[in-house]
Structure 1
Amino acid sequence: MDRPRRDTAPPRQLAFDLPLDPRYGREDFLVGPANETAYGLIEAWPEWPDTVFLLTGPPGSGKSHLASIWATRAHAWTVAAAALTGEGVPHLVSNGALVVEDVDRLQGRDEAALFHLLNLAREHRTAILLTAAKPVEAIGLATADLRSRLRLAPGATILPPDEALLRAVIVKLFVDRQLVVDLSVVEALVLRIDRSLALAREVVAELDRDALGRGRRITRPLALAVLARLGLGSEGDE
Structure 2
Amino acid sequence: MDGRTKLKTDENAVADAIGQLVLPFAHTPRFAADDFVFSSSNAAARSWLLGPTPWPERRLALWGPAGTGKTHMLDIWVRMHEALLLHGASLSHAHVAGLFAAPVPVMAIALDGADQCGDERALLHLINTAREHGMALLLGARTPPARWPVGLPDLASRLRATMAVAMGQPGDGLLRVLLLRLLAERQIVVAQPVVEWLLRRLPRTARAMQAAVRRLDHAALATGRPVTRALAAHVLSDMLAGSESHAFVPDP
TM-score range, shorter chain: 0.7 to 0.9
Give the letter for the 1:66 counterpart: M
Q: Which runs of 5+ in 1 are unaligned?
A: 1-8
Give the one of 201, 207, 212 matched to 1:198.
207
Residue of structure 2 equivalent to 1:29 = 36
Q: Deviations over 1:15-38 (max 9, x none)?
A: 542311110110111111111211
Give the one of 2, 16, 20 matched to 2:27.
20
Give the letter for the 2:190 counterpart: V
* CA distance 1:151–1:75, shift in 2 (3 Å): same
Q: Is the 8 A contact 1:76 1:95 kept in 2?
A: yes
Give the one of 91, 104, 107 matched to 2:98.
91
Report how far residue 45 of structure 1 moved: 5.5
Give the letter for the 1:153 counterpart: T
Note the 1:1-238 alignment, pairs <5 A. Answer: 15-17=21-23, 18-44=25-51, 47-93=54-100, 94-106=105-117, 109-228=118-237, 230-233=238-241, 236=244
Report how far residue 78 of structure 1 moved: 1.1
Q: Is the 8 A contact 1:225 1:234 kept in 2?
A: no
Q: Deviations over 1:149-197 (max 9, x none)?
A: 1222123111111111111100000111112212222222222222221
Query: Percent identity over the alignment?
Result: 33
Q: Is the 8 A contact 1:225 1:235 kept in 2?
A: no
Report how far residue 148 of structure 1 moved: 2.2
Is the partner of 1:155 in helix, strand or coil? strand
CA RMSD of aligned residues (A): 2.4
Give the letter for the 2:162 counterpart: A
Measured in 2, the distance between the counterparts of 1:192 and 1:182 equals: 16
Measured in 2, the distance between the counterparts of 1:189 and 1:125 equals: 48
Measured in 1, the distance between the counterparts of 2:52 and 2:86 equals: 20
User: TM-score normalised to the size of structure 1?
Assistant: 0.85
Q: Count residues in correspondence.
A: 226
Q: Which moved more, 1:17-26 or 1:77-86?
A: 77-86
Q: Is the 8 A contact 2:41 2:171 kept in 1?
A: yes
Give the letter for the 2:209 counterpart: A
Report how far residue 59 of structure 1 moved: 1.5
Report how far residue 90 of structure 1 moved: 3.5
Structure richer in helix, relative to its length: 2
Give the letter for the 2:108 counterpart: A
Report how far residue 117 of structure 1 moved: 1.2
Q: Deviations over 1:101-137 (max 9, x none)?
A: 112212xx22111111111111101111101112224
Measured in 2, the distance between the counterparts of 1:90 and 1:123 equals: 13
* CA distance 1:188–1:139, shift in 2 (3 Å): farther
Is the partner of 1:23 in helix, strand or coil? coil
Q: Is the 8 A contact 1:55 1:129 kept in 2?
A: yes
Is the partner of 1:53 in helix, strand or coil? strand
* CA distance 1:45–1:131, shift in 2 (3 Å): farther
